[in-house]
Amino acid sequence: MNDFPLLCPRCGRPQRVLRQDDPHRPVRVVHTETGRETCADEDEPASEPPTDPERSGLDRC
């Protein structure tokens, strides 16, 4: 399998695939900078919502 660049859909930072010997979970996708699956921003409390409801159209739902 060829390696190709991955970007996190949540934070946009680069990710990589780690292959494991665990038969129940053969691969993990982790952030390249931290080596963790979770985004670095998830550790910090959010001061504002990630999306603007008016711009996304969610305010009409």
pLDDT digits (tens, 9 = 90+) for 3-53: 678 999 999 999 999 888 888 878 889 999 999 999 877 655 545 555 666
Contact partners, residue 8, CB within 8 Å, separation at least 6:
14, 15, 31, 39
| Position 59 pLDDT exceeds 70 | no
Contact partners, residue 37, CB within 8 Å, separation at least 6:
28, 29, 30, 31
User: What pLDDT shows up at residue 44?
Assistant: 54
What is the model's pTM?
Answer: 0.54
How far apart CA 34 and CA 31 sit, in angstroms, is: 6
- Alpha-carbon distances, residue 26 vs 8, 18, 38 (angstroms): 19, 9, 18
